[in-house]
């Protein structure tokens, strides 16, 4: 028999198998996940979740698709966090410290509390990449924030109101556009896509049944 645990989803108690992730436990309990559910593999950041286990005062964060349930776990999902998202034209900005001062000046109000790093669902050193952004070191900021999934949990804990994922996104765009070495292979592929070289191939793929698509994916040739 399956071992069952008691969990609380948005304040209501349920009994679910102990081997389920939080996301699968929600579906087991009858929730239809329309929002707060994306890739199911820890890449999209759509299932940001906060929880506390009874008897433990610490409020913890995670992605619901990656974290298994625990007995007496109190769960609340955070499928969206209102980050500050500035509008800019990447073709008209420059990779200088001034662009961060102009678009995201709140990063200079960071008090070094490290709440962002402690809450990151991906285990990133968020405070460090914000420090790189403050100094205009966009290459290091891009590298340090590379695995960010834009879940917004870090920003939800920030007393300075910093939108860390958006700052990191700007740094990665600046790095890719102006600082990183050009990739001829990538430029050739983008040109082929614009020319419609893969249009017929993509249309044929879209018409295949799911089972055949899965088989093609599992036996695909991976470029070196």
Reported as a single tens digit per residue, the pLDDT across 190-207 is 999 999 999 999 999 999
- The 3-state DSSP class for residue 131 equals helix
The whole-number pLDDT of residue 1 equals 61
Per-residue confidence (pLDDT) for residue 22, from 0 to 100? 96
**pLDDT above 80 for 87:** yes
In this structure, the strands spanning 73-77 and 4-9 are parallel
The domain 4-77 is placed in CATH, from the list 3.90.850.10, 3.40.50.970, 3.10.20.740, 3.40.50.300, at 3.10.20.740
78 pLDDT band, cuts 50/70/90, is confident
Q: Is pLDDT above 90 for 220?
A: no
| 99-132 confidence digits (pLDDT tens) | 999 999 999 999 999 999 999 999 999 999 999 9
**Percentages (nearest 5) of helix, strand, coil residues in the chain:** 40, 15, 45
* pLDDT interval class at 38 (50, 70, 90): confident
Computed over its alpha carbons, how large is the radius of gyration of the chain? 21
pLDDT exceeds cutoff 80 at 50: yes
On the 0-12 / 13-18 / 19+ scale of CB atoms within 10 A, 216 is exposed
Which is higher by pLDDT, 221 or 146?
146
Average pLDDT, the chain: 93
Q: DSSP code of 190?
A: H
Give the percent of the chain with pLDDT over 70. 99
Edge-first strand listing for the sheet containing 4-9 = 12-17, 4-9, 73-77, 48-53, 60-63
CATH 3.10.20.740 in the chain is located at 4-77
Average pLDDT over residues 133-148: 97
pTM comes to 0.79
What is the pLDDT, as a whole number, of residue 10? 87
């Amino acid at each position: 028999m399956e071992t069952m645990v008691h969990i609380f989803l948005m304040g209501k108690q349920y009994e679910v198998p102990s081997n389920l992730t939080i996301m699968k436990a929600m579906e087991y309990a009858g929730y239809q996940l329309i929002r707060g559910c994306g890739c199911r593999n820890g890449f999209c950041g759509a299932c940001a979740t906060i929880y506390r286990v009874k008897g433990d005062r610490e409020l913890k964060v995670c992605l619901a698709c990656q974290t298994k349930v625990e007995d007496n776990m109190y769960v609340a999902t955070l499928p969206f966090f209102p980050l500050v998202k500035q509008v800019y034209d990447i073709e008209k900005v420059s990779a200088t410290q001034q662009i961060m001062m102009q678009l995201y000046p709140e990063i200079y109000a960071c008090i070094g509390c490290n709440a962002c790093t402690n809450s990151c669902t991906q285990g990133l050193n968020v405070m460090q990449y914000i420090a790189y952004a403050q100094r205009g070191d966009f290459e290091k900021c891009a590298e340090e924030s590379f695995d960010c999934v834009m879940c917004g949990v870090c920003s939800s804990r920030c007393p300075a109101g910093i939108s860390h994922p958006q700052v990191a996104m700007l740094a990665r765009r600046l790095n890719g556009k102006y600082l990183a070495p050009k990739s001829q292979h990538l430029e050739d592929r983008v040109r082929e896509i614009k020319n419609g070289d893969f249009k017929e191939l993509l249309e044929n793929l879209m018409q295949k049944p799911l089972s055949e698509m899965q088989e093609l994916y599992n036996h695909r040739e991976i470029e070196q």
